[in-house]
Chain A
């Protein structure tokens, strides 16, 4: 069954290869500097490397947008995204997996009555606007630098050609690596929690986790997409918007790769955090927007006369249409899968306004009069609960999110079996953390925050300190992992109490 559900992820990976990956080498192939086969081979190898080595970075922001909590739902989300990308690829428009998957997740949210985290959505959509602008600015600066360099060094026309070719290959490889690292979460992220793979050790010096094995499979699917279907989009990117010289192509690929790297590098993020600098959000950005932004940036720098605005308009419309198609297709497919094939496309999340929930919200300094009015009431999904809370007047979104997170029912029980699973194969939890968890053996929790509170009472290592962003980030990832591990899968509050 897992293999069947994974097929939609592989289809999405193929679409990513056919569309996004072509952005990396599109300008190089379009300007005839690199042969399609060379580009496809280089792109495939480095996408797989990027996915396996540093694929985990950008997945968390996407996870926050909407937590697809059933396998069949994940299958449809990935499938809808894949279909919408395929349609756009057939039309020859460069779109992005990020856009499609975000649209599909929102479609799932609508269908399942789950809340869409508008803060994360704003963050992601914000990067869709920022990304082309940043990319265009980087392209303009790089272009000026490259032109200055050429004028100073005065290379022979053939030396310049050879260096540009070499540069395109190197930067393309870097871009492919960044794309793999940034976008693999879109393809395989939803399957990580249900992966059946065990960690494997290669020659005793490198261990591949189950997620990395999944990312490898996803990477291979992307590579197949690059080889089989990316040529057309490469031509649109390389020649369609504006005729590019090889130097232009080099600048475009450099700007695109830099943007992807900025939004995918955990290393860069921790470096910025370590030095107290504002960090860049690790969001799966749209590689198409990065590349189109860079091409337009160079076109405008040259006076904008050669830009084919009509095509650019078509591409921009594609960016708007893709998430809408993905959301609509996802919603309709979920309906069919649920009602015709009787598959569980989501696990209902219910909400309970118990006295302890009200007390917890009060501790956070938020007015609890709304909650008191709803005391001891249970809501079947986020939409009805949200409606009940906002019935009389709107509540600030931050307060609303806190109320909903606190009231969410997520029954968990720490059993000997789940602890054993942790001790045997889970490398994400340290030995000390496992010891702390063992102290909570046989404890049950109805809400996520109850487990977090219980752990923070045991050791200060389990507390958020708001000073060390890296520690807080790691802790929230660990906790999210534990919530899944100890999940009893029963949403009936009567059966779980402490």
Chain B
């Protein structure tokens, strides 16, 4: 019986780790996908798109399975609601990465070369913010006292994203020779990507509360 209880906990903790790996990987794929798109390497971009689709699919399956097991086996009753919310919020970040890449594929926005570097930097900040929230979530599960070591980085990367996003939008709208519709489309893309960092910050805020609730 003791062995079963411990094994059950161990299996689920492995699945949580796998799920967090997927969220983290999705950020890296997103970053490479954007790079390929901006470089015009459409074949590589399509590959990243397939990869992120696959990862999102696996992430969803893992999340559903985790939710089911946490409820069926009434694990961590005092924090189950918080853990499920955390997993869902992280899954939503993964979805946003996938959604952004799909939007590139569907709309094929024309990013002029002068903003490529800034857009890649924005992508990097967003991916870093998600990476920081993944590390915070890992710490929440494994070493709760270390959560704050990572959580402040989420806030840092989110504010950096805001700065770059504003700069990019100014740059886009300063191009009077471009059609307004084109400028608005590029602005939407910038905002869409920047939003991912905002959502990561929201997750960090919730995580802060969960940590307080679990602190001994």
Instruction: Please report A residues at the B interface, Cβ cutoff 8 Å.
Output: 31-33, 35, 147, 150-151, 154, 156-159, 161-163, 165-166, 169, 245-247
Q: Is the CB of B9 within 8 A of A32?
A: no
Decide: B6 and A32 in contact? CB cutoff 8 A.
Answer: no
B10 touches A157 (CB 8 A): no
Q: How far is the CB of A328 from chain B (nearest CB, A)?
A: 42
B147 CB → nearest A CB, Å: 11
- Could you tell me the distance between the alpha carbons of A147 and B12 in the complex, rounded to whole angstroms? 24
- Distance, CA A156 to CA B145, complexed state (A): 12
Count of CB-CB pairs between chains A and B under 8 Å: 58
Whether A156 pairs with B141 at a CB distance below 8 angstroms is yes
**CB-defined contacts of B78 to chain A, threshold 8 Å:** 31-32, 245-246
Contacts of B5 in A (CB 8 A): 162, 165-166
State the B residues within 8 Å of A (CB). 1-2, 5-6, 8-10, 12-13, 16, 74-79, 83, 140-145, 214, 216
With A31-B78, A32-B77 as contacts: A161 and B216 at CB distance below 8 Å = no
Q: How many angstroms between the C-alpha atoms of A156 and B9 in the bound complex? A: 9
User: Which of A33, A157, A163, A166 contacts B140 (CB under 8 A)?
Assistant: A157
Complex CA gap A154/B13 in Å reads 14
With a CB–CB cut-off of 8 A, which chain B residues contact A35? 74
Q: Across the interface, do A154 and B74 meet the contact criterion of CB distance under 8 Å? A: no
A154 touches B9 (CB 8 A): no
Indicate if the CB atoms of B142 and A161 lie closer than 8 Å.
no
Contact yes or no, A158 B77, CB < 8 A:
no
DSSP class of B's interface residues: helix, strand, loop or mixed?
helix
Residue of A nearest to B6 (CB): A162
The residues of A that contact B2 with a CB separation of less than 8 Å are: 166
Does the CB pair B77–A154 fall under 8 Å?
no
What residues on B are CB-neighbors of A165 within 8 Å?
A: 5
Could you say which residues of chain B place their CB within 8 Å of the CB of A159? 6, 9-10, 13
CA separation between A154 and B138, bound complex, in Å?
12
The smallest beta-carbon distance between B213 and chain A, in angstroms, is: 9
User: A150–B75 Cα gap in the complex (Å)?
Assistant: 18
Verify A158–B216 contact, CB threshold 8 A: no
Going nearest first, the 10 A-B pairs with the smallest beta carbon separation are A162-B9, A32-B77, A158-B9, A154-B143, A158-B13, A147-B216, A161-B76, A156-B13, A162-B5, A157-B141
B145-A157 in contact (CB<8A): no
- Check if A150 sits within 8 Å of B9, measured CB to CB: no
Chain A residues lying within 8 Å of B214, measured Cβ to Cβ, are: 157, 245
Which B residues lie within 8 Å of A151 (CB)?
145, 216
Determine the chain A residues whose CB is within 8 A of the CB of B143 once the complex forms.
154
Most buried by B among A32, A162, A166, A169: A162
CA distance A169 to B6 in the complex (A): 13
Closest to A146 in B: B216
Cross-chain contact B13 with A247 (CB below 8 angstroms): no
Residues of B within 8 A of A147 (CB): 216
* Docked CA distance A162–B76 (Å): 9
Find chain A residues with CB under 8 A from B216 CB.
Answer: 147, 150-151, 247
Instruction: Report the separation of the CA atoms of residues A162 and B6 in the bound assembly, to the nearest whole angstrom.
Output: 6
Given pairs A157-B76, A157-B140, A157-B141, 19 additional interface contacts (CB within 8 A): A31-B77, A31-B78, A32-B74, A33-B77, A35-B74, A147-B216, A151-B145, A151-B216, A156-B142, A157-B13, A157-B79, A158-B12, A159-B9, A159-B10, A161-B9, A162-B6, A163-B6, A245-B78, A246-B78
